[in-house]
Amino acid sequence: MRQKLILISLSLLMTAAITYQSRTISQSWKLDVPAVLDQMDALSGKWEVVTPDKIKQPVLTQSVKYADFPKALFKDHDFYDFEASVKVYVSSENKDTQSAGLVLRYRNLYSFYMLFLNTKDKRLTLTRASLGGLKIVKRINHDFEPDRWYQLKVVCNLNHFKIFVDNEKILEADDSVSTGGKIGLVTAGTSRVYFSDLQVNTDTIDAQAQTTSANN
């Protein structure tokens, strides 16, 4: 009887481990070939892969001039708790608007977050969309400059956000809403922006959750 109980316990532990492992997702997109467009849903704007003279490498960009926030989502997964990063190059060729970033936890037109790096107004802004419109969750001023690459990274864990630029933590915020959804890219108005190397990883968040559970 005891031997049967041990075997059942081991079986349950193995099942739990398999279930936990299946939740982890690690994906990356180079954003340098036209085939990447097939993995995206362009909600607004015209998204294409180009090779600008000033960068001299293929990158993803958005070129429609008459949309408030052109957005493109990546189709494969919904993400709840995760770490996401992308390289962003905001060009100075448009003097009016110079802002772009990530779409986070997109469920529908009235439920998602947007994270903007703005080189004209020199600030970083996290916003949430709802039926009531766009709400600024948190904004902080920072000395960003155009015509250079930045790595923008966000860690979403439950209702907590930690945001890094070039591995420096710039902004941290809590929000009342904790949900999951698609990951995407966004530009502001007529901003001319180039994107490269999008990565999404849930392994880090799962490891943190295991550590916290063990400590408790």
Q: Give the distance from CA 72 to its chain's centroid.
A: 11
User: Is-contact 83 205, C-beta < 8 A?
Assistant: yes
pLDDT digits (tens, 9 = 90+) for 103-139: 999 999 999 999 999 999 999 999 999 999 999 999 9
- Rounded distance, CA 66 to CA 158, Å? 34
- Rounded distance, CA 53 to CA 145, Å? 19
- For residue 17 the two structure tokens come to 């481990």
pLDDT digits (tens, 9 = 90+) for 180-214: 999 999 999 889 999 999 999 998 664 454 444 34
The CA-based dihedral angle spanning residues 211, 180, 194, 168, taken in that order and rounded to the nearest 10 degrees: -30
Domains of the chain by range and CATH? 25-215 (2.60.120.560)
- For residue 142 the two structure tokens come to 């920072």
Residue 76: strand, helix, or coil? coil
CB-side neighbour CA atoms (13 Å) of 50: 14
Confidence band for 76, pLDDT divided at 50, 70 and 90:
confident
- Rounded distance, CA 4 to CA 202, Å? 36
Among residues 119, 62, 54, 107, the alpha carbon closest in space to that of 80 is found at 107
User: Tokens 């994107």 label which residue?
Assistant: 195
Flag whether the pTM goes above 0.85: no
- Rounded distance, CA 101 to CA 207, Å? 26
pLDDT at position 97 over 90: yes
